[in-house]
């Protein structure tokens, strides 16, 4: 049956936590060293299962991958293999990011259609169209997508500002001959960080962090010593857990400028929000009033992040009035719904929207963590519940939240694994 997380809820979380390094940004930073034969050292890499999964893919390609706490060293000088192994690659979606670097450096790359959370169809057309626009021949051969060719810069319009798609095309363009302009690029801070890392490796890139990225291809990239940005999704999850339980949580090192949409919604819900250069803090409405319902849409950055949809929904069960969340990024984000309902939440789904009536007292029980962010939602639900909650299927939770029971305990929660 595997490990379970036991939460004895009903306590207001309070205190300070340092932000962890960003899961998604770290995954991009693990793929980038494939672009060079020099060693790369990364700092502030979160200690989570997905990082190990990406490490296994890199090793299978012939790279060395060494982890020492939150420091990771990668040396891709010995890479001879350009085919990502089926069994390792399908375990995580970010593994498809080996395609851009391998194609750019070796002129060929192959990978199966990758896995990850079951939150929707998650096609790869944006990635593949980008490689084709750069001059690669891309085809399906058996289980694999195979791309071959010498890359030349191009103007590329992305059909959708796919996050991984943007990063993959950016990686490929960094070593392509001439100028590439990526239009309708993803503007997420993690994408911008990937570009910053490439710049530190010798790439010529501008416009990252906006929807148009310009890349002037270079012949080679060199090694780098690079620090991963803080995880805005993890920070946001703990801030929401604090507010939902009537507590007061500060995240040290969190980037408030990456959290505009969440902090604005928290303030609208009546929560106290404080931003300083050292930390971002959120607390229950200072006047003692209940949280208020809010309306929001999950959309690409800088809009409200789809990865905080589920944790926000859990927190809004404690807000007075009718909240609505409209999901516009993934079509299957509501995996948390049945679990929170079983805990007493009044939630109804209509298409990609969820309506939440609150406040509702939640009750504990045995619930499942069906994807990484649904996992965070049931944990928040459990922290709000008056009695004991048992969360099963921790594999998803451990994909995104390093040492969660230790971190929640530091905030005064009673949480343990058994």
- Residues forming contacts to ligand UD1 in the complex (CB under 6 A) are 24, 27, 93-94, 120-127, 160, 162-165, 306-307, 329-330
Q: How many CA atoms lie within 13 A of 362 on its CB side?
A: 38
Question: For the stretch 232-262, what's the b/e string if a residue is b when 16 or more beta carbons lie within 10 angstroms of its beta carbon?
Answer: bbbbbbbbbbbbbbbbbbbbebbbbebbebb
CB atoms < 10 A from the CB of 365, how many?
17
Q: Is 59 helix (H, G, I), strand (E, B) or coil?
A: helix
10 vs 165 by CB, closer to ligand UD1: 165
Cβ of residue 304: shortest distance to ligand UD1, in angstroms? 11
Cβ of residue 35: shortest distance to ligand UD1, in angstroms? 18
65 vs 304 by CB, closer to ligand UD1: 304
Cβ of residue 9: shortest distance to ligand UD1, in angstroms? 27
The tokens 């999704």 sit on which residue? 233
Cβ of residue 399: shortest distance to ligand UD1, in angstroms? 10
Dihedral over Cα of 328, 123, 308, 21: its sign: negative
Kind and range of the H or E run holding 410: helix 404-410
168 vs 318 by CB, closer to ligand UD1: 168
Give the sheet arrangement for strand 212-216, strand by strand: 155-157, 179-183, 212-216, 204-206
Q: How far apart are CA 34 and CA 74, in angstroms?
A: 9
Cβ of residue 27: shortest distance to ligand UD1, in angstroms? 5
Q: How far apart are CA 139 and CA 95, in angstroms?
A: 18
Cβ of residue 300: shortest distance to ligand UD1, in angstroms? 7
Q: How far apart are CA 163 and CA 161, in angstroms?
A: 6
27 vs 379 by CB, closer to ligand UD1: 27
């Amino acid at each position: 049956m595997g490990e379970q997380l036991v939460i004895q809820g009903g306590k207001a979380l309070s205190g300070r936590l340092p932000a962890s390094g960003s899961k998604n940004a770290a995954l991009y930073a693990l793929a980038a060293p494939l672009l060079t034969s020099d060693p790369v050292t990364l700092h502030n890499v979160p200690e989570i299962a997905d990082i190990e999964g990406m490490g296994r893919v890199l090793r299978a390609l012939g790279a060395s991958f060494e982890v020492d706490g939150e420091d990771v060293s990668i040396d891709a000088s010995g890479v001879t293999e350009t085919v990502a192994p089926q069994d390792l690659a399908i375990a995580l979606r970010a593994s498809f990011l080996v395609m851009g670097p391998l194609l750019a450096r070796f002129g060929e790359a192959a990978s199966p259609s990758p896995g990850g959370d079951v939150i929707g169809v998650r096609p790869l057309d944006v990635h593949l169209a980008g490689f084709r626009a750069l001059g690669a021949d891309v085809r399906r051969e058996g289980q694999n997508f195979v791309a071959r060719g010498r890359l030349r810069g191009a103007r590329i319009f992305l059909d959708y500002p796919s996050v991984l798609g943007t990063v993959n095309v950016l990686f490929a363009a960094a070593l392509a001959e001439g100028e590439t302009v990526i239009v309708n690029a993803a503007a997420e801070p993690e994408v911008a960080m990937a570009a910053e890392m490439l710049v530190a490796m010798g790439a010529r890139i501008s416009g990252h962090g906006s929807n148009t990225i310009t890349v002037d291809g270079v012949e080679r990239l060199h090694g780098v010593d690079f620090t991963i940005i803080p995880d805005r999704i993890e920070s946001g999850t703990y801030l929401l857990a604090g507010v939902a339980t009537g507590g007061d949580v500060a995240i040290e090192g969190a980037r408030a400028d990456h959290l505009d949409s969440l902090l604005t919604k928290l303030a609208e819900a009546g929560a106290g929000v404080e931003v300083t250069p050292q930390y971002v803090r959120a607390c229950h409405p200072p006047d003692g009033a209940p949280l208020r319902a809010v309306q929001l849409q999950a959309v690409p950055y800088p809009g409200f992040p789809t990865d905080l949809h589920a944790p926000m929904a859990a927190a809004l069960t404690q807000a007075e009035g009718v909240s609505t969340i409209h999901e516009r990024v993934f079509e299957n984000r509501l995996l948390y719904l049945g679990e929170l309902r079983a805990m007493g939440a009044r939630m109804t789904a209509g298409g990609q929207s969820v309506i939440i009536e609150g406040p509702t007292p939640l009750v504990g029980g045995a619930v499942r963590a069906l994807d990484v962010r649904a996992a965070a939602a049931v944990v928040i639900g459990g922290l709000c519940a008056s009695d004991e909650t048992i969360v099963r299927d921790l594999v998803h939770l451990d994909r995104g939240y390093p040492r969660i029971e230790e971190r929640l305990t530091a905030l005064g929660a009673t949480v343990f694994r058994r």
